[in-house]
Amino acid sequence: RHCVMVCKNCGERIRTAPGRRSDNVVYDSSVKALVVYLSVVQFLPYGRIASLLREVFGLTPSEGSLVNWVNEARRNAQPVIDKIKEHIKSSAVVGFDESGLYCNKRPDWAWIAQTVYYTLLFHADGRGSKVLADKSGDSLERMTAVTDRHSAYFALRFLNHQVCLAHLLRELQYLSELDTGQEWSGKVTSLFREAIHERNANPNDVIDKVSWTWRLDNLLKQNIEGAW
Residue 41 is classified by DSSP as: I
Specify the 3-state DSSP secondary structure of 118.
Answer: coil
On whether both 50 and 11 belong to a single domain, the answer is: yes
One domain for residues 70 and 18: yes
In this prediction, residue 224 carries a pLDDT of: 75
Q: Is residue 227 part of a domain?
A: no
Q: For residue 18, what pLDDT is reported?
A: 60
Last residue of a domain, one of 49, 77, 105: 77
This prediction's pTM: 0.73
Q: What's the rounded Cα separation, in Å, for the pair 79 and 111?
A: 20
Domain co-membership, 170 together with 156: no
- CA–CA distance, 216 with 135 (Å, rounded to integer): 34
Is 215 found in the same domain as 193?
yes
- What CATH number did the domain enclosing 94 receive? 3.30.420.10
Instruction: Assign 129 to helix, strand or coil.
Output: helix
User: For 33-92, how does the pLDDT look when each residue is reduced to its tens digit (9 = 90+)?
Assistant: 999 999 988 989 999 999 999 999 999 999 999 999 999 999 999 999 999 999 999 999
pLDDT of residue 32: 94
The reply to whether 139 and 96 lie within a common domain is yes
CB atoms within 10 A of CB 26: 13
pLDDT at 17 over 70: no
In tens, the pLDDT along 102-111 reads 877 888 999 9
* DSSP code, position 211: H
Domain containing 56: what range?
4-77
Count of beta carbons in the 10 Å neighbourhood of residue 67 = 13
Domain count, the chain: 3
pLDDT computed for residue 19 by the predictor = 58
For residue 216, the model assigns a pLDDT of 95
C-beta atoms surrounding 164 within 10 Å: 15
